[in-house]
Homo-oligomer: A and B are copies of this chain.
Amino acid sequence: MSQPDPRINIDRLIAELQCLAAISDCPEPPPAVTRVVFTETDLRARDYLTGLYEQAGLAVRVDAIGNTFARWEGAEPALPAVGSGSHTDAIPHSGMYDGTVGVLGVLEAIRALKSAGAQPRRSIEVLMFTSEEPTRFGMGCTGSRLLSGAITPDELAQLRDSDDQDYDQVRQAAGFNGPLDSVELPSEYYHAFVELHIEQGPVLEAERLDIGVVTAIAAPAALQFTVTGQGGHAGGVLMPARHDALTAAAEVTLAIERLAQQSRSPDLVATVGQLDVHPGAVNSIPSRVRFSLDIRDINNDNRDAVVREIGVQAQAIAERRGVAIGSRVLNADPPAIAADSIIDAVEAAADALRLSHRRMISRAYHDSLFIARVAPTGMIFIPCRGGVSHRPDEFSTPDQIKAGVQTLALTLAELAK
């Protein structure tokens, strides 16, 4: 390969990852991180990143919902650019590598290419997506959904957080203004898009490999359930007279677990991650419970069949218990397939660097799931310890991160030729 040798300053990159981790609302210190979109903490993290991008000589642009673009202009700036990026928001009490390795890694890749004297023909652009995580609005990837036209501006504007504020109010209060219909990317904006990310699964570590070349991203769906029963005094209402919303929700939660375990697809996973009890007092029978369902599979049809069966069993539970159970699909997305051109470029880069690699699918989803609808897209995975993610002990070694950033740098240089 005729690329310049990418000299990654891994110490600087690790220091920047640690600095970003310190911008957190988690009561525990880093590596525990909480950074929810459009909070003060999210804004401070954005300021930090923008400062780094500008120091590196990149031209920064922020769209109406906070998606942040930082461009290294190519020799032919009118050509569609090569994009790379990820997210910086973090679910409560999670780790410091999810998303951030992609956002800071591409910056280090660009700095390395620049200092090696590379002069790409196409512009190379960092993209930091707003709100990959569904924590606040129940729907993940709102930034990439709007960029790719996977959601309409009206649908996005009306999403609500737990304080019943809508997305449109919240983004404006955070200082992101401008019309929502200005966000969608023009056609052929990107020639290619590559996202560097930790695997969030155990495969690469178990097989002692350096690089995962992602060929597809699993199909995710998210639902919200509401169980409405009858409240009352925990001392005053005898057991046969009860219509307890929490015990009904517990039964549905166990039905979800059982259906996922018994699914014919071993890749199907289903999780109830949020569950809120109303009124939530020690001595009060729960009158209403809201809970989330996150369900994914490589196979779209199998996933949808399990969702339907969950609905059937929930209705049977509701009837037997004399409660009402409603559900709402927040999103049900098809899987994404990576572009062959990018798979080839990543494999060639890893070979040139003498890094071991394999093709794999991503069971976690990413902003690339949506960018794949509007540009040839691929992903580079690096191992993470024990496959652990969304926890404070999420970890990749500096060497693993360095290998990923090197691979990304060569891939970007090749795609921008």
Contact = CB atoms under 8 A, between A and B. Distances in A.
A377 interface: no
Contact of A235 (B275, B286, B364): B364
A8 interface: no
A206 interface: no
A287 interface: yes
Contact of A222 (B201, B231, B232, B282): B282
B93 A279 contact: yes
A94 interface: yes
Contact of A389 (B92, B232, B260, B391): B232
Interface in A272-317: 272-275, 277-287, 292, 294, 296
B283 A271 contact: yes
A281 B274 contact: yes
Interface in A330-355: none
A313 to B, nearest CB: 14
Interface residues of A, number: 69
A261 B239 contact: yes
Contact of A236 (B134, B272, B387): B387
A370 interface: no
Contacts of A138: 282
Contact of A254 (B94, B218, B250, B296): B250
A294 B278 CA distance: 16
Contact of A282 (B200, B277, B294, B364): B294
A405 interface: no
B261 A254 contact: no
A91 interface: yes
A135 interface: yes
A102 to B, nearest CB: 15
Nearest to A134: B282
A93 B232 CA distance: 11
B220 A279 contact: no
A238 to B, nearest CB: 6
A195 to B, nearest CB: 15
Contacts of A294: 234-235, 282-283
B269 A389 contact: no
A91 B133 CA distance: 33
Interface stretch (A63-71, A114-122, A152-160, A240-248): A240-248
A365 B237 CA distance: 13
Given A94-B284, A283-B390, 14 more contacts: A91-B283, A140-B282, A140-B283, A200-B236, A201-B233, A231-B390, A235-B294, A236-B364, A238-B267, A239-B261, A244-B271, A246-B275, A247-B272, A250-B250
Interface of A: 91-94, 133-135, 138, 140, 199-201, 218, 220, 222, 231-240, 244, 246-247, 249-251, 253-254, 257, 260-261, 266-275, 277-287, 292, 294, 296, 362-365, 387-391
